[in-house]
Structure 1
């Protein structure tokens, strides 16, 4: 059975799509992955077929339109009666839906987020366009999965559909990588991920003036990077805030395990963030790093259930909460982090993915 997977990115750092494709390939599915050149054509190798559509557009809204058109024609060439389409996020859904209807083949929709509730769209005209598309197609999609329990509840309630299957984007389980005899001085406070609006980064940079004997490492890139670098300079915190840039996944994992605490401190400027279970939280935990997270539903569950760090209701609490975790030390959380890492891993999520695709093939072929 052929599964044609499409996503709007250059494929290289999308760990969810990589894990999904690898799991399906290892279980007998023929994978054909389609991405694009947005973000650059980084050389990569996979044990399944992949291609990237070349985009000429330099502005994102035009790139979306160009990709939709080109993806439709690419799917039309590659799909046949023995294919399953796997659409990742709303920005690939329309061409996949049209091809699904045209050829009479099944479509699986994987919503990594609530696309229409992203902070970057709030209040903009483009939000209305994406909402119209979502409202038009999502209720007609027969097979759907998403990346958090709260997302699944939102889609079911909003569109009166069967609750999507939840396949959380947890990392592959690893043995505890920590060397607790290694003590950092200064301590390392880590943020990893995209440098976007509403990630709380301006708040933690400002808070660093109140935290002694520690550095903030920001691993990632994004549209707000220059603004936050300027903020750091303006506050005179160049010696305490380090911008590491965008790292290869294997290099990022080495950085993560060195940290003393990991941050996921998003602001409540959209339901997509509020209901998210960010990848970085489970990445920190798999590296056995205690966390400080916003008191949002999915992240709250992790801290409350496993006692793996601290929550903040307001960003004014950042400095105090960080001091608590740093004073406790990583080894204080070892037992709880080991327990969390054993459960928040891809090995626990993969069976749900495979069960969904078995249902798709049983019902359609």
Structure 2
């Protein structure tokens, strides 16, 4: 009899592809899966083959929302969990409630750290950073089962807390690439993901002054959206930059596959960014789209294995433009052989084997 897994996350669940893939893999492996999120920033309708619910939050600010969520999550887990349950917490903002219930019932807890939460740019230098660091320090060294999203993250946690996480990268499912590569005119440079600071988006907008016959499409939403829209107007680049807004995962995939160049030029906005392997890199690899990359460890590591694009010299707009032109001059077709090899290496089918092993061990 397979155990019940209760997965929880401070997330409205709708666009979180990692959680969706993890839960689907566990469900298809025969576990009884239940998913708990919240309604922070909306609660779009969605369908899943397993039960899910969203905790309603009345907090007006993120600070209080974290406390409210963990308080309500604790009481939900207390009702739902029993001795046949594995708890599965996603990120530090869902960890405390899970840890307390796991300890109370003496049941296994699997912690999945999608990033280094206490080192994210949004909380650097704030009081909340001290609280999250304290929580990490108190709980993570006591955990038995942990997974994380990149090899560099795993090294960081090992050095900091003496725990050895299993690396489960957030790769998409393997896609058979059969479409005809479009002959775009103008060519398409694509950014997909959250519109947050330190993503190089503003620098890429300025780089459009140095790019002819190219349109920059920005798919996503986030706190910096208005600032970037204003920058486009100020620089008179409305004819060269398009904001596509937040897209459903399926709609985004249809856009990704049409791009000539995908972009992941994160800046060093602290250790969480520095050691990350952004989802968009792996999404573009599966869509067989060459990439414009920054010189951060995980991206450098992929580039060393497979020639899937170009690494920018720095974040000067003219150097970004030069790297884009280099990819466009070579052409998307010339990268296909290496992208094909990379797509076989970086796919969910490889990652889920490691994921299932962790839950098998937790079941024992």
> TM-score category by the smaller chain?
over 0.9
Tell me the equivalent position of 2:149: 147
Deviations 1:124-176 (A, max 9, x none): 11111110111110001111010000100100111122x11000000000111
Deviations 1:166-221 (A, max 9, x none): 000000001114312x2000000000000001111110001111111001000000
Tell me the equivalent position of 1:120: 122
Note closer, same or farther for the CA distance 1:313–1:72 as it changes in structure 2 (3 Å cut). farther
Tell me the equivalent position of 2:4: 2
Rounded Cα–Cα distance in structure 2 between residues aligned with 1:74 and 1:223: 31
Tell me the equivalent position of 2:218: 218
How is 1:285-324 mapped onto 2 (pairs within 5 angstroms)? 285-316=285-316, 317-324=319-326
Gaps (5+ residues) in structure 2? none
17, 23, 26: which is aligned to 1:24?
26
Q: TM-score, normalised by structure 1?
A: 0.97
Tell me the equivalent position of 1:89: 91
Tell me the equivalent position of 2:234: 234
Whether 2:241 is the aligned partner of 1:255: answer no
Number of residue pairs aligned between Structure 1 and Structure 2: 360
Note closer, same or farther for the CA distance 1:264–1:177 as it changes in structure 2 (3 Å cut). farther
Rounded Cα–Cα distance in structure 2 between residues aligned with 1:286 and 1:305: 16
Whether 2:352 is the aligned partner of 1:350: answer yes
Tell me the equivalent position of 1:173: 174
Tell me the equivalent position of 2:63: 61
39, 42, 49: which is aligned to 1:40?
42
User: Contact 1:306/1:339 (CA < 8 Å) preserved in 2?
Assistant: yes
User: Contact 1:178/1:287 (CA < 8 Å) preserved in 2?
Assistant: no
Whether 2:209 is the aligned partner of 1:209: answer yes
Q: Which stretch of the first structure deviates more once superposed, 299-308 or 234-243?
A: 299-308
User: Contact 1:5/1:31 (CA < 8 Å) preserved in 2?
Assistant: yes
User: Contact 1:68/1:92 (CA < 8 Å) preserved in 2?
Assistant: yes
Whether 2:199 is the aligned partner of 1:199: answer yes
Q: CA deviation at 1:232?
A: 0.4
Q: CA deviation at 1:313?
A: 3.7
Gaps (5+ residues) in structure 1? none
User: Contact 1:178/1:288 (CA < 8 Å) preserved in 2?
Assistant: no
SS in structure 2 at match of 1:292: strand
Instruction: Give every structure 1 segment of 4 or more consecutive aligned residues whose post-TM-superposition deviation is greater than 4 Å.
Output: none
Q: CA deviation at 1:58?
A: 2.3
Tell me the equivalent position of 2:107: 105
SS in structure 1 at match of 2:257: helix
Q: CA deviation at 1:48?
A: 0.6
User: Contact 1:86/1:109 (CA < 8 Å) preserved in 2?
Assistant: yes
Deviations 1:284-327 (A, max 9, x none): 01000000111111111111211000112411221100000011
User: Contact 1:177/1:288 (CA < 8 Å) preserved in 2?
Assistant: no
Tell me the equivalent position of 2:134: 132
Deviations 1:18-52 (A, max 9, x none): 11000001111000100000121100000111110
Q: TM-score, normalised by structure 2?
A: 0.98
User: Contact 1:190/1:219 (CA < 8 Å) preserved in 2?
Assistant: yes
334, 337, 343: which is aligned to 1:335?
337
User: Contact 1:4/1:34 (CA < 8 Å) preserved in 2?
Assistant: yes
